[in-house]
Amino acid sequence: MKVIAKPDLIAKDVYKTCISKVKNIALKERLRQISGSIEVSDRQYQVRSEEQQWFLIESSDGVDGIVGKAEMEKVYTQRMVGKKAPGRVLYDQLKNAAPNGICPLCGQRAVTTLDHFLPKADFPSLVVVPLNLIPACSDCNKAKLDKVPGSESEQTLHPYYDDVTCEQWLFAEVKEESPGSIQFYTSDVDVYDEALNERIKFHFRELDLGSLYMSNANSTVTEIQFRLNRLHEKGGKNSVKAYLEEEEESRRNNHVNSWNTAAYQAMMNNDWFCDGGFNEFKVS
């Protein structure tokens, strides 16, 4: 996962923009009446975010008994996401905040949407609160669905608040079999508390990152097989290992918890792989 700078958009202003063109007079008045509650929810969200305790925020069926859940969802889907919606420019601003357009949740696929960290179906007052909206790929967005965290350990990582980029927690191992494969796992970091380590594991499982990374790593091996064979022919496993070590160093200095870093570490540290085992990886 990668860290993204917190959006500098103000929740109450985003909300006012989104409801600015509601034509139904009665609905617009009801939406206007809850503006203060949207602001309160945003402040509460910020407090819980600093503590990484989003699970303590209570879900609801509407806002103040004035606006229903379905009506609030439309504030997002029709008045923020819609191509001609008044809040569309803000939607695009949030979506484009991910560096290089890459989903911060998986660190791999392209951003195509915004993910509600706390689902809009259960937290209607947060439907357009910027801090609850994370640029994401469609696969990560679908994997999270509308699951409400029931405890601290059942919270996925939040790119605006969780910086887990300095210490390595993602690792991989080469499976010495035919066909060969590279499989990924997480490992606890001593300097992180138990809750954060558990959340890293939960994030990894919930978004099925192991399958995504394994597919990418296995494909990478088949892509470099020709070069590995040439190196092996000239200098044996030591030449292969030296090449993989250089590649690993470059990737580790870029991102210590990328699947590339973990994959190259696994490859370079496995004698079977370096001595020709790479040929057991097949193009699917």
User: What pLDDT is stored for residue 3 in this prediction?
Assistant: 86
User: What pLDDT is stored for residue 32 in this prediction?
Assistant: 97
Whether the upstream peptide bond of residue 7 has omega within 30° of 0, thus cis, is: no
What does 80-102 look like in DSSP terms, one character per residue? TSSTT-TTHHHHHHHHTTSGGGB
DSSP 8-state secondary structure symbol assigned to residue 63: E
Q: How many CB atoms lie within 10 A of CB 111?
A: 25
70 φ, ψ (degrees, to nearest 5): -60, -35
DSSP 8-state secondary structure symbol assigned to residue 152: G
Ranges of residues in the chain with a pLDDT under 50 are: none
67 φ, ψ (degrees, to nearest 5): -120, 130
Whether the upstream peptide bond of residue 124 has omega within 30° of 0, thus cis, is: no
Cβ atoms of residues 223 and 198 within 8 Å: no
User: What pLDDT is stored for residue 284 in this prediction?
Assistant: 60
pLDDT digits 0-9 by tens, 210-260: 999 999 999 999 999 999 999 999 999 999 999 999 999 999 999 999 999
> Which helix (DSSP H) or strand (DSSP E) does residue 249 occupy?
helix 209-254
